[in-house]
């Protein structure tokens, strides 16, 4: 569920960049940001989450 929320949140933020700042967004940057956000949220929420950001 956390990965789902991180995905939706990241897409929403990048969508705002495109709509309001007329910025170009690369798909790879969206995916990397989504992975990083989900890792941060999971690692801070779950004490048993033992993956490094590179493993994630």
**DSSP strands (E only) in the chain:** none
| Whether the predicted pLDDT of 14 surpasses 90 | yes
- Counting residues of the chain whose pLDDT is more than 70, the rounded percentage is 100
Query: Which pLDDT score, from 0 to 100, does residue 30 have?
Result: 97
Total domains in the chain come to 1
- The predicted pLDDT at position 39 comes to 95
Mean pLDDT of the chain: 94
Domain assignment present for 54? no
> Which phi-psi region, left, alpha or beta, contains residue 52 (left: φ > 0; alpha: ψ -120 to 50)?
beta
The residue segments making up the domain with residue 13 are 2-45
Predicted local distance difference test score (pLDDT) of residue 19: 97
Residue 14 lies in a domain: yes
Spatial separation of the C-alpha atoms in residues 48 and 20, rounded to whole Å? 39
Q: Is residue 9 part of a domain?
A: yes
In a domain, 52, yes or no: no
Evaluate whether residue 50 is within a structural domain.
Answer: no
């Amino acid at each position: 569920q956390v990965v789902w929320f991180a995905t939706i949140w990241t897409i929403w933020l990048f969508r705002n960049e495109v709509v309001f700042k007329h910025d170009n967004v690369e798909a790879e940057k969206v995916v990397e940001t989504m992975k990083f956000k989900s890792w941060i949220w999971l690692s801070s929420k779950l004490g048993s989450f033992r993956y490094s950001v590179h493993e994630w």
